[in-house]
Amino acid sequence: MELVNIENLFENVIVENDQRLSDEDNIKMEFFQNMLDDMRNKFSLYLNFYNENRINNVDYDGTIKEIRGIESYKNLEFEFVDKLVFREIRSLIERVYSYFVKKYDVKLETLKHDTDYYEGRPERMKENFIWFMNVSIDDLLDDIFNQLGGMTFNDKGLKETTDKLLEDCKTYRDEQRITVKNSKITIKDFMYYEYWGKDYGEYRNSDYVKINNLFKIISYVNTGELYNGYENITSQINSHNNKYIGLYEIDDNILKSFKTFKNGKVEIVFNSGLKALNFAIKYLGYQE
């Protein structure tokens, strides 16, 4: 198969989704697009070099024939495209999705494409090669925003975190796990410790995701931003060598304290009974 001339396959792509992204996100996406363009330009140089410098051999009768071993041009082309071009571009695509997943704590399925590059399937081989040499960051953003379904990153992150927290606090065997008394919320069977280190008295929390989600939602109620604003507490609770189970004083705009127990129960004390009740109903599935 004749190698597609890749010099004209793609041009520098300007990200057109900027109105849907923050300034920080735009800068990051431009960085990724520049990296992608530079990567493919270098791929083009290497492939064109292979194509223009084929390694040939002279047969006993004087005819020139192409060497067929691993050093032959075609094998070099297949190895280079399969092991480097497809792999590196796919890796960069995964980095784009990972950026948004980590920043906004949302679930996203990475856009994938067939990586078949076998000379016995020339049409598929050509289509796959062209796709990888043309896909842009803007294409990835279109796919990401389709997955958001009209929601913002923050809204999707909030919904997913809220759904997880509601699931972790749902009624079990018709038993209400949430109780609200005055300004205190109690959640039964929420977070258990594994005894860790008999000689050191260390306790490992096996439900650190639940704790992070709980405090992310509390932070959202307090600040309007979805992030864990209580890492000074959660880092202790979730530490592998945590030695303390009990009361954590807070005293901020929304909380007074947080308390853990060995039996899986946790207690959250708010600054007012109304705040506690509203939080329990909206984010924990509490029913009066």
Q: What is the pLDDT of residues 156-198, one digit of tens each?
A: 999 999 999 999 998 776 678 899 999 999 999 999 887 766 5
pLDDT of residue 217: 96
For the chain, which residues score pLDDT lower than 70? 1-19, 54-75, 173-174, 196-199
**Residues 6 or more apart from 148 whose CB is under 8 A from it?**
106, 156
Can you give the pTM of this predicted structure? 0.73
- pLDDT for res 63: 66
Q: Which of 170, 166, 181 is nearest to 276 (CA)?
A: 181
Label residues 216-231 b or e (16+ Cβ within 10 Å = b).
Answer: bbbbbbbeeebebbbe
Q: For residue 268, what are its two tokens?
A: 């959250």
**Nearest-angstrom CA–CA distance, 49 and 55:** 11
pLDDT at residue 70, as a whole number: 45
Phi and psi at 188, nearest 5°, equal -85, 150
- Check residue 197 and give its pLDDT: 65
